[in-house]
Amino acid sequence: MNIQELIRSKSKKIVDEAGSEALVLEDAHALRIAKECGCKIYDVHVTALKNGICPYRYLRNRETISLKQQLVLAESRVAVIGAGGLGGQVILLLARIGIGHLIVVDGDVFEETNLNRQALCNKNSLGKSKAKEALAFVETVNPGIKVSACPVKLDSSNAVELLTGSDVIVDALDNVSDRFVLEDACKKLGIPLVHGALAGFEGRVMTIFPDDTGLKNLYGNKKGNENSPKSPEAVPGIPSLTPCLIAALQTMEVLKIILRRGKIFKNAMLYVDIETGQMNEFVFEKQK
């Protein structure tokens, strides 16, 4: 039997909680099919979606994300630059929603002060590469996607090589100078960038397309001090709540870009203060 025949033979019809019928393929069967066909679970999931069969793990997505859209996500590639407090949350959300290929770039290792907020950090990962731990963690969450771990610091010499082929790039960095390096590479490659930043109980999100003014709207022409030991959030700190919210907003921007739906924060910044309950949008005039 070929892969399509195996998938059809192992799929089953169910009625979901909304009362709709669905043909689904459970993970256990997807794993067996992958082993029998000598392929990855990713290939099994993509083939199932192309044949109108929903991987069981995505059943609860169906009412808001159609099977066709789930396939679009599965065939998409997203790079997340930074796998710490913000990036770790983004990586897990993208993995659970079904982005097919994640590129994780981070040259840092986990330390004890990361335990308060970084989703990929635990007592067993201290001292280990954030990028490699992201790969290992995602495999336990969703073995049906591909993860490329790049345990290096993104800079002007490697940015284009690391980011080429991505559909969307997520900024989960913690300093201004690296953000400008990332933005320059995104503009050169013509890839949209979803910027996120936070400090204390405040955060912001902005999507930057190649023709947008971008980070200059936030920082002017100041690209930061590369030798500064402090990141912008060093003084107010970062409690665990803020990265969760900003990461969710960034992940939603990724989905809106890939699925071409909803309102994208283009030439605009969404500012959030979760302590006061404020959420405000600031619109920037497009510079000529």
Domain count, the chain: 2
80 and 34 together in one domain: no
In a domain? residue 3: no
96 and 238 together in one domain: yes
In a domain? residue 241: yes
pLDDT at 228 over 60: no
* Domain final position from 29, 55, 70: 70
In a domain? residue 143: yes
Average of per-residue pLDDT across 101-112: 97
Rg from Cα positions in the chain: 20
pLDDT in tens, 235-262: 567 889 999 999 999 999 999 999 999 9
In a domain? residue 5: no
268 and 160 together in one domain: yes
Identify the pLDDT of residue 221.
80
94 and 196 together in one domain: yes
Q: Could you tell me the CATH number of the domain that includes residue 85?
A: 3.40.50.720
184 and 153 together in one domain: yes
pLDDT in tens, 114-158: 999 999 999 999 999 999 999 999 999 999 999 999 999 999 999
Average of per-residue pLDDT across 169-181: 96
Dihedral pair phi/psi, residue 79, rounded to 5°: -100, 130
35 and 53 together in one domain: yes
Q: Report the distance separating Cα 100 and Cα 71, nearest Å.
A: 9
Q: Which two tokens stand for residue 259?
A: 């699925």
84 and 213 together in one domain: yes
Q: What is the pLDDT confidence band of residue 271, given thresholds at 50, 70 and 90?
A: very high
Identify the pLDDT of residue 16.
84
268-273, strands of its sheet edge to edge: 146-150, 101-105, 77-81, 168-171, 193-199, 202-208, 268-273, 278-283
Write out the residue range of the structural domain in which residue 42 sits. Answer: 15-70
Identify the pLDDT of residue 244.
96
Identify the pLDDT of residue 122.
95
Q: What is the DSSP letter of 287?
A: P
In a domain? residue 2: no
Q: What is the pLDDT confidence band of residue 233, given thresholds at 50, 70 and 90?
A: low
Report which residue type is found at 159.
Answer: A
Q: What is the pLDDT confidence band of residue 288, given thresholds at 50, 70 and 90?
A: low
pLDDT at 199 over 60: yes
228 and 247 together in one domain: yes
55 strand-pairing partners: 25
